[in-house]
Amino acid sequence: MNAELKRKIDGLQGPILVLGASGFIGANLLRVLLLYRSDVFGTTSRFPAWRLDGLPEENVVLSDLLIPANLDLLLDRTRPLTIFDCVSYGAYSFQNDPDLIYRTNVSLIVSLLEKLSKRGIHAYVHAGSSSEYGNLCSGPDEDSSMAPNSHYSVSKCAAADLIHYKGKVDRLPCVNLRLYSVYGPLEDPARLIPALVSKAINGELPPFVNPKISRDFVYVDDACEAFIDAALNLAPDFYGESFNIGTGLCTTIGELAELTRTLFHIEIAAQFTMPQRNWDVAEWYANPRKAEDKLCWQSRISIETG
C-alpha cells in the first residue's frame, strides 16, 4: 500500500465522480481511487468496457452524457463533491468527426459546469491537453499564446477558456490540466508505447517516424496523481486556471528507439520509415513549474522505469 497516496485519496471530498472512466486515463484514475475508498463512481457510455473489467458494478454507471437529461440523472444519483472529467473525443486520428468533437469537448462541458454551479461542489478537475498550444509547444508556460492546429486543439482551447470564465467570474472551484503524452497500462494497444513494448518483448521494433520528433512522456500513475493533487490543493486564487502536466523533458523518437533497444537487448537497428503526421513536431515538452508550485505535483516516474 502506498501510504502517501492513500492519505491524499482519503483527503478528497466525496462522493467522487470520474467522467469518462472507460477511457485510458479515466480507467486508471477510477481504479486507483477504488483501492482506498468506495464512494467513487465512474461513467461509461457503453458496455462492454474492457478497461473496467472486474470493477464492482455499483461503482460503474452507464450513461450517454451527450443526452442532456442524463447529466441530471447522473448528478442526482451520485451527488459528487469532487469531479474528475476525463471525457474527450478527437485525440486519436480515427476520431475525426468535427461535430462530435465540439459536442463532446465543448457543449457537454458548458452544460455540465452550469449544472455544477447550482449544486455546490468542492472541485472540478478537467483533462485538458498540451494540444491546446498547437504548434507553439516548446516548453510554453500557461499564459503563452495558443496556436491551435486541429479541430481537437480548438475544442480543448475553448474548454480551457470556459473553465477560466467559470472559475474567475462565477467562482466555481475548477481547473484545467494540460496533459502531455500520457502512457501506461490500459492504453490503446495501437498507441506508440504499447505497440513498441509488444514488439520489443519479441525482439522486434515497429517502424518509427522521424527520429527528431519529440514528446514529453508522462507515466499514467503520475498523471492520476496530478488530478488528485489538483483537487486537494485547489485554492480560490487559481480557480479556472490551467496547469501543464508533464515531466519537462523532451524525448525524441530516436532516443526512445535507442532506449528500447538497450532495455530489451534488441540488436536490429531502428527504422524511421513511418510517414510523419501533421501533429508530429520537434521540441514538444512541458514547463511544469506552475503545477509544482501551486498543486504540489511533480512527475516521479522516468521513461526508463515507465
The one-digit pLDDT tens for each residue of the chain (306 residues) are 699 999 999 999 999 999 999 999 999 999 999 999 999 999 999 999 999 999 999 999 999 999 989 999 999 999 999 999 999 988 877 888 999 999 999 999 999 999 999 999 999 999 999 999 988 878 899 999 888 889 999 999 999 999 999 999 999 999 999 999 999 999 999 899 999 999 999 999 999 989 998 999 999 999 999 999 999 999 999 999 999 999 999 999 999 999 999 999 999 998 988 887 666 667 888 999 999 999 999 999 999 999
Whole-model pTM over 0.85:
yes
Cell of 61: 454507471
The set of cell numbers assigned to 116 is 455544477
Handedness of CA 220, 16, 19, 105 (dihedral sign): negative
Bridge partners for 252 per DSSP: 214
Backbone angles phi, psi at 183, to 5 degrees: -145, 165
Q: Is 191 helix (H, G, I), strand (E, B) or coil?
A: coil
> Cell numbers 450517454 correspond to what residue?
64
Strands 214-215 and 181-183: unpaired
Per the rule left: phi > 0, alpha: psi between -120 and 50, beta: everything else, 298 is beta
